[in-house]
Amino acid sequence: MEHSYTIVVPDTGILTKLCGTNDSNLRLIEQHLGVPVYMRGNELSVEQDDPQVQQQFRFIIDRIIDEIQDGYADSEDAVASLLNTDLNPDYTPTKAFFDSKRQHATMDEGAIIVPGAQKKLYPKTQNQADYVKLLRTHDMVFCSGPAGSGKTFLAVAEALRLVLSKEKKGIILTRPIVEAGENLGFLPGDLEQKIGPYLRPLYDSMEFLLSKETVKKLIENDIIETAPLAYMRGRTLNDSVIILDEAQNTTCEQMKMFLTRMGNGSKVFITGDVTQIDLPKRCKSGLVHALDVLSGIAEIGMMQMTGSDVVRNPLVKKIVQAYENAKDQ
């Protein structure tokens, strides 16, 4: 085939899953690329000279194969989620569709390769890909969205990438402890033991990418530090990645205090869900306030996730969507 770019998939079982029932997955790939995909034997090809299309095609196939080997991407819905395309049986691929994708982050821009991790991490939706791009291109990024939308997980993954690739010296994890009224003195144990349970979701994200032993060693070597938000006052944090989780539960004063801890060479990632505020009703959320007053600063990245970005159990996505619909009524 003249001017074609070909990928060989030697494993017949993987090729069958990759193509899908009646080649339905290949149609989704065509929809995403905007060019036809051909299969001959164990070869997949695109008839395209554009190196960007060829690179995208290679990346898509490699990504789907990775997911299949991990037990995912065995259905049309799963592959559609990977490609962030809509299931539209009447869709006719066009070059304009492919060109429109350039306005957003591409999948290869969104991939996070954490040194020492067992696999690459790929964004599952366009918002997630754009979020990763913001994490790369901005020193301060806010991300608000529902549980399971990847806002904290992707921030942790990018922080690990920066530190383990020696671009930053350490990671500092913090969150407001509303449940304890920011007063941890009555809780048993040292500071690590007091705050540990509150930061468990962040540890879970790390242990998904790295072994527990590796995470433990990073903590023991003070490369990963945990601290209650109240303990951040008076510090200047240089050459680090600082993650504030559950930021919707900060007060306006706490948020200002936290943001001004940023030192030279540091990155600051702030995540939260403005629909899950646990503060007293008369107390305005620092996250809501910051998203408003800082929106005009171009150097600060801001991303809003929605129910369509939820990548946990499919039932979670439906629950989040139901609440979003109820809010709009």
Strand order through the sheet with 4-8: 4-8, 43-47, 37-40
> What does the mean pLDDT of the chain come to?
82
Structure-derived torsion over alpha carbons of residues 324, 327, 328, 329, reported in degrees to the nearest 10: 130
Residue 76's pLDDT is what? 63
State residue 228's pLDDT score: 82
* pLDDT tens column, 103-124: 556 555 667 889 988 777 878 7
In whole angstroms, give the CA distance from residue 108 to residue 61. 12
Query: Would the pLDDT of 156 be above 80?
Result: yes
Bridge partners of 285? 251
DSSP secondary structure of 22-69: GGHHHHHHHHHHTS-EEEETTEEEEE---HHHHHHHHHHHHHHHHHHH
Higher pLDDT, 195 or 174: 174
User: According to the model, what pLDDT value does residue 41 have?
Assistant: 92
pLDDT digits (tens, 9 = 90+) for 215-254: 999 999 999 998 888 888 888 999 999 999 999 999 999 9
Identify the band that residue 98 occupies on the pLDDT scale cut at 50, 70 and 90. Answer: very low
Nearest of 136, 138, 146, 150 to residue 84 by alpha carbon:
150
Domain boundaries, the chain: 4-103, 117-328
| CATH fold of 4-103 | Ribosomal Protein S8; Chain: A, domain 1 (3.30.1370)
Report how far residue 241's alpha carbon sits from residue 287's, in angstroms, rounded to the nearest whole number: 19
Closest CA to 42 of 71, 18, 21, 22: 18
CATH topology of domain 117-328: Rossmann fold (3.40.50)
Contact 121, 72 (CB under 8 A): no
Q: What percent of the chain has pLDDT over 90?
A: 43
Q: Tell me: the pLDDT tens digits for 48-89?
A: 888 888 888 888 888 788 777 766 655 566 676 666 544 444
